[in-house]
Amino acid sequence: MSKRTSTVAINRKPLHKRLIKFWPLYLMLVPCIVYYILFCYVPMGGIVLAFKDYSFKKGIYGSDWVGFRYFKAFFTSYDCGRLIRNTLIVGVIKCVLEFPFAIILALMLNEIKNYRFKKISQTITYLPHFLSSVIIITMMQRILAPNNGVINQIIAACGGDGSTFFLMKSKYFFQILFCMDIWKNIGWDSIMYLAAIAGIDPTLYEAAEIDGCNRLKRMRYITLPGIRGTIGLLFIMGVGGLLSSGFDQIFLLRTPGNMAVADTLDTFVVRIGLQNGQFGYATAIGLIQGLVGLALVVSANKICKRMTEVSLW
């Protein structure tokens, strides 16, 4: 019996028989299910706040209904266009512009033949992911500080003005965010691509090498097509985050000088909801982000399925 036939036969068994036979695997799945129920599905009940005038005294479900008042208020507000524009720019930087770099790093690491050097390189690229945003941005503030920062000292040594306060200038904000995010996440994001590359049949490389293919051709005609499914799936899931710029990095990088470009939907939601106590208004904006993200994922999934036959479902 082939592997495919065996898998189909197992899937056709009744659920209770599969539960009995593979109970250790299902037992390990329980914490994951409990986590998503408690932290992802139960909080969905709070979405009704987007349509209610919340009162601590009356509670979430006892508060008065206001319909779509918060949605109308947001789309007619002065901040709407600026917030959406800033969020989209950050989303494109994180989900589109940074996307190929992890693939390139995985391809480069895969071509390293020295095992020790490869492991050291992987460790160095992974480590920044485990540093908190507070630590990384504190480092960035020291590096970019006027006069005594490393960058300004280099500029001064080259005869330029070494007193530039980069974080106070809005024109440098997106470049700083891009470089910082790449450094922090590129190594961690490459893990999945390296795992996909490891699953490619080695005999394909051997056959290609016998036929005279060099490394670039093997990478182009074997490696990239072999991880096409992984690339497609990760891109589809990443597209859903176009309107979710992330709170911690943006909030910590904000200064009075770059506020015009550093104020996004995520920071606005926290400011309006927690600082100003407008929970319904903040929930409405969060619901808009979630619905747009869902629509983007569904659309990207449909387009990828039609063009590349790769899809989430």
pLDDT > 70 in the chain, percent = 96
pLDDT of the residue at 79:
86
Residues whose CB falls within 8 Å of the CB of residue 258, separated by 6 or more in sequence, listed in order: 167, 168, 169, 170, 172, 173
pLDDT of the residue at 11:
56
Element (H, E) at 141: helix 133-143
- Tell me, which fold does domain 73-308 have in CATH? MetI-like fold (1.10.3720)
What pLDDT digit, counting tens, does each position of 187-235 carry? Answer: 999 998 999 998 888 888 888 888 888 888 888 888 988 888 888 888 8
The mean predicted confidence, pLDDT, of the chain is 87
DSSP code per residue over 166-191? GGG-GGGHHHHHHHHHHHHHHHHHHH
Q: Quote the CA–CA distance of 104 and 126 in Å, as a whole number.
A: 15
The values of phi and psi at residue 82, to 5°, are: -65, -45
pLDDT of the residue at 12:
65
The token pair that represents 35 in the structure block = 């986590």
Q: Quote the CA–CA distance of 262 and 120 in Å, as a whole number.
A: 36
Q: What is the pTM of this model?
A: 0.84
Helix (H, G, I), strand (E, B) or coil at 108: helix
- What are residue 59's DSSP bridge partners? 55
What is the mean pLDDT of the segment spanning 279-305? Answer: 89
pLDDT of the residue at 35:
94
pLDDT of the residue at 20:
84
Contacts 24+ apart (CB under 8 A), 217-220: 219/107, 219/111
Q: Quote the CA–CA distance of 163 and 144 in Å, as a whole number.
A: 10
Q: Quote the CA–CA distance of 187 and 32 in Å, as a whole number.
A: 25
pLDDT of the residue at 102:
92
What pLDDT digit, counting tens, does each position of 108-144 carry? Answer: 998 888 889 988 998 899 899 998 889 999 998 899 9
Higher per-residue pLDDT: 8 or 251 = 251
Reported as half-sphere exposure (CB side, CA atoms, 13 A), residue 147 has a value of 0
DSSP state of 225: H
What is the mean pLDDT of the segment spanning 261-267? Answer: 90
Domain ranges, ordered by start, for the chain: 16-67, 73-308
Indicate whether 25 pLDDT > 80.
yes
pLDDT of the residue at 8:
47
What pLDDT digit, counting tens, does each position of 61-114 carry? Answer: 888 899 899 999 999 988 899 999 999 999 999 888 989 999 999 999 988 888
